[in-house]
Chain A
Amino acid sequence: MADFQLIDFPPSDHPVEGDSVPDFTRPLVTEEYWEDVPLSALAQNAGSVLLVFYPLNWGGKSLYWWTEIREREWGSDDVAVVGVGISQPFDHQRFIEARDLEYPLYSDPGNGVAERYDIVHDLDGMAGIAEPRPAVFLVDADLTAEYVWVAGEWPESPPYDEIESALTRS
């Protein structure tokens, strides 16, 4: 039997439910264009935001995650579902097109947003590349976290059902 081992992430001071999450501005990429959008503006506009920190575009994880999210039809007039990944905007745009996503993706090649949320994942075996560890933050219009999931090990997939009930409550 293959020796299969999950990697534990170290402890983190990421925001938890009831905390304010850090505001940030990054290019928000849609199929048609991208522009700098502060998270706070997005949250005020939509009412609440589900911020999905997801693994590298095109990898198995990102493909599965976004297929699952799309099939579950998350998002509504009251909740904007938005990804955060380290790809540059052109790549995000191609990913959105190829996966037929209705969800916009924040482009954060420097991984600075993950640093501010204390959810950095230094990818093993890829020198010079860091990404967010898998995480989901549901925030209200004032950027207060209503629901938080941060992966404790890698690779780990989101608890979709649990997130879905948080979405339904909000």
Chain B
Amino acid sequence: MADPTGSDGDDPTLTLYRLHGCPYCERVARRLERYDVSYRSRFVAGEHSRRDAVKRVAGTRSVPLLIDRDRGVTMPESGQIVEYLDRTYGTGAVDEEGI
């Protein structure tokens, strides 16, 4: 069967792999919302062993994981992701507490 969630030209180019109840993931999501960047939100299981989808695209099982397809970016670690978002989609002058 075709990839059920498929993808076509209209899809957001950003995908955020995230965990339910993970503050680091929420931090990234809030940043994306602040900059009004549309993205796909993919929730994965809590156990590392069940995160093969993440491993396959990123080589790591850690989340949050951001994929920015157009820019060829695949990035784990929330601090790094937030910095990247500030630099790429924001003014670059966002304070750390201003979530």
Write the residues of chain A forming the contact surface with B, with a CB cutoff of 8 angstroms. 27-28, 30, 32-37, 41-42, 44-46, 75-77, 80-82, 89-90, 93, 102-104
Contact = CB atoms under 8 A, between A and B. Distances in A.
Given A27-B43, A33-B53, A80 B2 contact: yes
B25 to A, nearest CB: 13
A28 B51 CA distance: 17
B41 A35 contact: yes
Contacts of B53: 32-33
Interface in B21-41: 40-41
A30 to B, nearest CB: 7
Contacts of B72: none
Contacts of A82: 4
B8 interface: yes
B68 interface: no
A90 B1 contact: no
B77 interface: no
B43 A34 contact: yes
Contact of A28 (B1, B2, B5, B20): B5
Given A46-B2, A76-B1, A82-B4, A35 B42 contact: yes
B interface, how many residues as a size bin? 10 to 19
Contacts of B17: 33
Interface of B: 1-6, 8, 17, 20, 40-45, 51-53
Contacts of A89: 43
Contact of B43 (A33, A42, A44): A33
A45 B43 contact: no
Contacts of A37: 4-5
B2 A45 contact: yes
20 contacts: A28-B4, A28-B5, A30-B4, A33-B17, A34-B42, A34-B43, A35-B40, A37-B5, A41-B6, A42-B4, A42-B6, A45-B3, A46-B4, A46-B6, A75-B1, A80-B2, A81-B1, A90-B45, A103-B1, A104-B4
Nearest to A93: B45
A27 B41 CA distance: 10
Nearest to B11: A41
Given A35-B40, A46-B2, A104-B4, 15 more contacts: A27-B43, A32-B53, A33-B53, A35-B42, A37-B5, A44-B8, A45-B2, A45-B3, A45-B6, A45-B8, A46-B6, A75-B1, A80-B2, A80-B4, A90-B20
